[in-house]
A and B are shown apart, each in its own frame.
Chain A
């Protein structure tokens, strides 16, 4: 994959003279720019990918690979969605990579949400205990392709947890293990407390 990026880099840097000469490169020239593609997402996900809510998630700052993985899962229909399974099918693998590059470079802007302070406090403890190892920095980090949870819109987090827990969406092994323990010890209330913690972060 790294080589492929290099190739693209070379293609862009080399300019139109080269693009015009080789047929396979001509085809690549028909791919829209990253910003052209990404701008068409803004109607639901906000300008440059930071959503003003109340439910559609912010995709700014997302990990490059997590974005690609998510779009590919929507494309294949292996991750449930209302509308994204239909939209993802409109893009080539190359276009998805370009969008991933665009959104991973944007700043995740956090907007104020309503939350229950007591639940958020309880959620903070649960986060440390169960989630922080992968969703580092109180869920703010996109390192190691973790989804950013801090400041993400609560209804979206709730839908995601519902889909995980109903089995409609596959959980990573490590996550499933932790979730199983959390659910056993803390019940659905524990999940709800986590959501309040994440939506409390600015």
Chain B
């Protein structure tokens, strides 16, 4: 029975007290097994599935405005012409089949005392545990001249979907010899290797279609994720470190810090002005909006959690998973969100059944594709350190693809990246 059905029934029956007094068995008020999940991305959808798998007696409601979710991971392949946009779209039929009550609504507030989630329009959902997986939002005031409105013409494409298509089409439409400017964000941000994989994929397209063009990555940072491997890959395929390099990376120190964007003149102002045919600004980030409304964020705009359960340190019975949570050394990646959600789901199931939180285990695996035949990965196994009260890397585990990996092994990484994509999306949405 869904929340709405029960709610309307309760109204008909003349209110909560009366109905409860009658003791209707289908009225689950007071049974303490209602979970409301806000956000149907990787974290939220995985949590919904794994709670239902572990304990079908728990009533799970997933609140997600969009009917279709587009994965950020591997969306860069679309820019390179190596993936069809349709393949990154996922609906919620699979979760519905598992008995998840999916509501395409916008959550606007969480009341930690009353234990309710308020939807746009005023409807309230009661919960015993609330899992928030809000993803990221952008700090629109960080770069002068760049805001939500300008993003309609100068895409960030850091929420996949129409923004991905817009950026792809702009790269397709630009003249041979034009510049693509990628403005990379400061730490921490979603998908640390993402901007550099994006440069690689766009370079693949340009190399094959507009070879006189160039990509400038204007970076806030001094270094970046998988840097050596990316640069070695760019050297192999895109002339990096030569006079004809297709990709130039300009670090924050070397004048890569962008302070202003002029959308009309198509200029990104850093140490000097960079003129682009395409300007892709990936703005500085913080937790998604509902995390702010629900008072779940710290001063930096991210959500502190107990890292063995992902319960908020600010409000009990509210959990935050995925990119919005403070879970370092776990990165803000899709695999980490999926892994965190399973740990959180197990903790919530245990709690609702009067048991203590299980011992967690976490994994991250993240692939980056330089060409359709050249990929690399980073992996890590994590555990929870009780003394430190936080997630730690398991010593000796994980790390990057070897810089000595053969071309054959780098090619295998691509097919394992595609397998990872197929399996993680199925593990999340079906």
Contact = CB atoms under 8 A, between A and B. Distances in A.
Interface of A: 29-33, 36-37, 39-47, 51-56, 82-83, 86-87, 89-91, 95, 153, 155, 159, 162
A54 B418 contact: yes
Contacts of B401: 82-83
Interface of B: 50, 335, 338-339, 342-343, 346, 358-363, 365, 377, 379-383, 386, 394, 396-399, 401, 405, 408-409, 412-413, 415-416, 418-420, 422-424, 426-427, 430
B413 A43 contact: no
A82 B420 CA distance: 13
A46 B415 contact: no
Given A86-B398, A86-B399, A89-B398, A56 B339 contact: no
A56 B420 contact: yes
Contacts of A37: 361
Q: Is the interface of A mostly helix, strand, loop or mixed?
A: loop
A43 B419 contact: no
A159 B420 CA distance: 17
Contacts of B422: 51-54
Nearest to B382: A90
Given A32-B361, A43-B427, A44-B420, A89 B396 contact: yes
B148 to A, nearest CB: 32
Contacts of A86: 379, 397-399
B343 A87 contact: no
A87 to B, nearest CB: 5
Contacts of B380: 90
A46 B427 contact: yes
Contacts of B397: 86-87, 89-91
Given A43-B427, A83-B377, A51 B419 contact: yes
A36 B358 contact: yes
A87 B358 contact: no
A41 B379 CA distance: 12
B358 A43 contact: no
A155 B386 CA distance: 41
B418 A31 contact: no
Contact of B398 (A32, A46, A87): A87
Contact of A56 (B399, B408, B423): B423
